[in-house]
Amino acid sequence: MPHALSSRESSGRLDDTPSRDSPYHMVRGLERGLLVLQALNRLGEASSQQVSAQVGLPRPTVHRLLETLRFLGYVDRGRLRDLYHLTSRVTQLSVGYRRVDKLVEAATPILQSLSSEVIWPVNVATYEDGAMVLRANTHRDSPLSLVAALPGTRVPMLGTAVGRTYLAFCGPDERRWILELLGEDKASGEPSAADLSRGLARIQDDGYAIQEGCVCKRSAALAVPIKTDGHIAGCLNIMWIRTALRSEVATTLFLKRLQAAAAAIEQNLARLD
């Protein structure tokens, strides 16, 4: 979501301030449509004139936007009072966000139980806009945590176990799209396409990924997928200090526990659905 919109939410009106947070030009039509949706959300129901006054746009422009939104099913118009209102379809726009909330709810008790067994910090992460985002973890509770990785922390796709696991187990179309996105800002030293393809195939076969030097140089991590309805919902990992455990030893110690925890999270997700 462009930051330029959020800077105007207090007034709910459109201005000509350029976006400073993005190198791309604003799509003014999209911005106006979102402002109209926000106005209807505040007003409950309103005429095109009332929405026009709220957002500071000419009434003909607002009328066209409202009719476009009505055609798409996000807005409807009353037959008697000729006022516009939102439809239930707008709730579909938040499905992805609710999915993250459900994952956190399903994972939290499992993370706490797992962390009490293994002591090392554990994390649940999901994909978002070219990176993995930590959604829940036990870094604060683990005496062995190396980093203050709070929920909301973004970590790279190719340089972390959770990122590589997600890439390995997401669908081919999504993988292709993510890799194209990452390719726009590819850093030196990253694997070639052929090496990456072989590495992801190996992760698929093994069912897990290991990454040394992830997040910080002293750490390593082991990650497994969390699936729902046959699709990857996120990833679960455990982190440790590289000098304390070799990766082979860590895999022997933690893999089955991690896979069992992922299965328990999947069961919790099914109950929440």
Per CATH, 3-86 and 95-272 having the same topology is answered: no
Task: Detail the DSSP E strand segments found in the chain.
Answer: 45-46, 75-77, 84-86, 122-128, 131-137, 154-155, 209-212, 219-228, 231-241
Task: Detail the DSSP E strand segments found in 68-139.
Answer: 75-77, 84-86, 122-128, 131-137
pTM of the predicted model over 0.75: no
For residue 221, report the phi and psi dihedrals to the nearest 5 degrees.
Answer: -150, 150
Structure tokens at 265: 């999270």
Whole-number Cα distances in Å, 137 to 59, 68, 83, 221: 49, 43, 47, 13
Assign domain 95-272 to its CATH architecture: 2-Layer Sandwich (3.30)
Which residues on adjacent β-strands are paired with residue 88? none
pLDDT digits (tens, 9 = 90+) for 177-222: 999 888 855 554 567 888 999 999 999 999 999 998 766 788 899 9
Percentage with pLDDT > 70 across the chain? 85
- The neighbour count for residue 116, using CB atoms within 10 Å, is 11
pLDDT digits (tens, 9 = 90+) for 123-141: 999 999 899 999 988 877 7
* Beta strand 122-128 pairing with 75-77: unpaired
The better pLDDT of the pair 112, 143 is held by 112
| CA–CA dist 46, 78 (Å, integer) | 10
Which residue ranges make up each domain of the chain? 3-86, 95-272
Assign domain 3-86 to its CATH architecture: Orthogonal Bundle (1.10)
Is residue 66's pLDDT more than 60? yes
Structure tokens at 84: 């516009």
Spell out the residues 6+ positions from residue 66 whose beta carbon is closer than 8 angstroms to its own: 36, 48, 51, 75, 77, 84
